[in-house]
Structure 1
Amino acid sequence: MTKSANIIATIEKHMLAMTEVEARIAQYFIDQALIADDLSSQHVAEELHVSQATLTRFSKKCGFQGYRAFVFEYLNSRESVEQSFQQVQSPLTKRVLLDYEDITRQSHQLIDEDQLQRIAQLIEDADRVYFFGQGSSGLVAREMKLRLMRLGVICEALTEQDSFTWTISILEPNCLVIGFSLSGQTATVMNSLKAAQDKGAKTVLFSSRAAYYHDEFTEAVPLAAVRQLDYGKRISPQFPMLFLLDILYAFFLEINREKKEAIFNDYTFPPKN
């Protein structure tokens, strides 16, 4: 597996697939600042009242070949963290910085430039573009509307079920609908995006569960995530979306750049009478 600078994020990412006992082991490694002497399989098994075989299964759930490989990465991660954040004292600050570090690393791995260029061209070719999102995703939808309308795109951001329904009723094949759902489980957004696809419009989904929907929409863009990011527990759930959308914006701006910059300047700096 790819080595992570944040072993905590790696553990958290796999917790939903763990049994109750494995999740208890995971929480132990998340909560404790452990050193090498604490990490023998015998010591941890006795401390948590589990078998050494259970530690092996836990390690494999996290993507490692076994417990020894997990410990090796755990210790490397702690050393890397301590070197990176020498000036940071609070564990709360470290946890937030680690989350940002892991989201950034994951985003680098997930970037598909060809796909983002295709989506930029879909925006360029569309007569109208609609952004669907609720909660934090709705804020991202509004942000993209504001940025693209300054470049001359006819677009709208919708954040409520009624507005989704009304918009779907007027869609045409030359429209583009872009949906944002970090969890991929926001029923109103997902159902509305599927309805837009059925109506013949081009559709794009931004989600951490994009792989589950790659056959259902025109494009499905994977987003980085750490456990419970969609709840905004430690860092803003908007961050992984805005990370990729900034790249998408850059690709879109390059299509007929001079015309777009002229529109942007007229919008931002209108001529004085």
Structure 2
Amino acid sequence: MKQDQDLRMIIASHETELTDMERDIAHYFLSSEARQHSLSSSRVTKLLHVSKAALTRFSQKCGFTGYREFVYHFNEEAKEQQHEEEHDDLTLSVLQRYHHVSNVTENFVKDPQLEHVADLIDQADRVYYFGIGSSSLVAREMKVRLMRLGVAGKAVTDQDGFTWTTSILDSSCLVIGFSLSGKTSAITDSLVKAKENGAKTVLVTANPACVHHDFTEVVPAAPLPSNTYIDRISAVLPLLIVVDLIYTHFLSKNRDEKETVFNRYWENKKLSNQRSRKS
């Protein structure tokens, strides 16, 4: 394998030979995330939920003798690109904060907890997502993504909605609240009322130490890496990373069934758009 060949082109030239699992592996190595962490086979297999044999087969299909040679090529290319791609201080400051959030999240989150939240979603008849202010965007995002996998639910983003929704909850329901500070009383108080009515409750927050309620789960997110409000990156970023992690664990449960629902959703949406254009 020539070391001057572009890895993206190498993978593209072998794409038709790859299985769906191997395409997931390819997608990871073509993402920026792969350039920020250790690429040891043990770490990558755990992260992607694949076997070492799958990494070897993927590497060989791309023309390498094995995973070790593939990673060597990957690292050499990353070094060259690092020298070529120089940014000014403003761009670097934002990118560094993004990297910080990613790294802190990696240290905070626990796989068993993510798995438990995924189980709670799987077992609930209906899921409600509570968020206010910027967190309301996260609540809506999670609702839409899980809806496409067949999860019935609603994003609730105002005080009147919290009051009405908590009054109709029972043990078949799950409420997921988002509060980066952990001090948004509209969210925490609503989760307390939801719990009193028998619902399971999950709070995603960057400040779990200040949460003194016995919710079903309190999932930690990374705090924003800035001393001043005006310099902060988007407040939704740490919460959205946690949403992605929960989504991935949920998707892994009966994935074939969820992919069928997902594909059916987009087929119906496409048909609906076609009818709208005709009318």
TM category (shorter chain) comes to 0.5 to 0.7
Alignment partner of 2:250: what SS?
A: helix
Match for residue 134 of structure 1 among 128, 132, 135: 132
Alignment partner of 1:269: what SS?
A: helix
Cα deviation 1:135-155 (Å, max 9, x = unaligned): 111000000010011111110
Match for residue 193 of structure 1 among 177, 191, 194: 191
Relative to structure 1, is the Cα distance of residues 85 and 98 closer, same or farther in structure 2, using a 3 angstrom cutoff? farther
Relative to structure 1, is the Cα distance of residues 232 and 201 closer, same or farther in structure 2, using a 3 angstrom cutoff? farther
Confirm whether residue 173 of structure 1 aligns to residue 171 of structure 2: yes
Q: TM-score, structure 2 length as denominator?
A: 0.63
Relative to structure 1, is the Cα distance of residues 230 and 183 closer, same or farther in structure 2, using a 3 angstrom cutoff? farther
Match of 1:73 in 2: none
Match of 2:86 in 1: 87
* Offset at residue 213 of structure 1 (A): 2.7
Q: Distance in 2 between matches of 1:85 and 1:163?
A: 51
Match of 1:220 in 2: 218
Q: Distance in 1 between matches of 2:165 and 2:175?
A: 10
Higher RCO, Cα 8 Å, sep 6+:
1
Alignment of 1:119-158 (within 5 A): 119-158=117-156
Q: Distance in 2 between matches of 1:196 and 1:127?
A: 15
Match for residue 263 of structure 1 among 261, 264, 268: 261
* Offset at residue 85 of structure 1 (A): 10
Q: Distance in 2 between matches of 1:118 and 1:214?
A: 20
Relative to structure 1, is the Cα distance of residues 122 and 231 closer, same or farther in structure 2, using a 3 angstrom cutoff? farther
Relative to structure 1, is the Cα distance of residues 86 and 261 closer, same or farther in structure 2, using a 3 angstrom cutoff? closer
Q: Distance in 2 between matches of 1:236 and 1:87?
A: 23
Aligned positions, number: 190
Q: Distance in 2 between matches of 1:130 and 1:92?
A: 38
Q: Distance in 2 between matches of 1:85 and 1:218?
A: 48
- Compute the RMSD of aligned alpha carbons: 2.4
Match of 1:61 in 2: none
Q: Distance in 1 between matches of 2:152 and 2:227?
A: 31
Confirm whether residue 254 of structure 1 aligns to residue 252 of structure 2: yes
Aligned partner letter, 2:177: G
Q: Distance in 1 between matches of 2:178 and 2:163?
A: 16
Confirm whether residue 211 of structure 1 aligns to residue 214 of structure 2: no
1:177–1:203 Cα contact (<8 Å) kept: yes
Relative to structure 1, is the Cα distance of residues 244 and 212 closer, same or farther in structure 2, using a 3 angstrom cutoff? same
1:181–1:189 Cα contact (<8 Å) kept: yes
2:128–2:154 Cα contact (<8 Å) kept: yes
Aligned partner letter, 2:220: P
* Offset at residue 231 of structure 1 (A): 4.9
Q: Distance in 2 between matches of 1:187 and 1:85?
A: 48
Q: Distance in 1 between matches of 2:228 and 2:149?
A: 30
Alignment partner of 2:169: what SS?
A: coil
Cα deviation 1:113-163 (Å, max 9, x = unaligned): 100000000000001100000111100000001001111111000000000
Aligned partner letter, 2:133: G
* Offset at residue 232 of structure 1 (A): 6.8
- Larger deviation, residues 208-217 vs 128-137: 208-217
2:129–2:139 Cα contact (<8 Å) kept: yes
Q: Unpaired segments of 5 or more residues in structure 2?
A: 1-81
* Offset at residue 93 of structure 1 (A): 2.2
Relative to structure 1, is the Cα distance of residues 216 and 150 closer, same or farther in structure 2, using a 3 angstrom cutoff? same
Cα deviation 1:15-66 (Å, max 9, x = unaligned): xxxxxxxxxxxxxxxxxxxxxxxxxxxxxxxxxxxxxxxxxxxxxxxxxxxx
1:210–1:220 Cα contact (<8 Å) kept: yes
Q: Distance in 1 between matches of 2:228 and 2:266?
A: 33
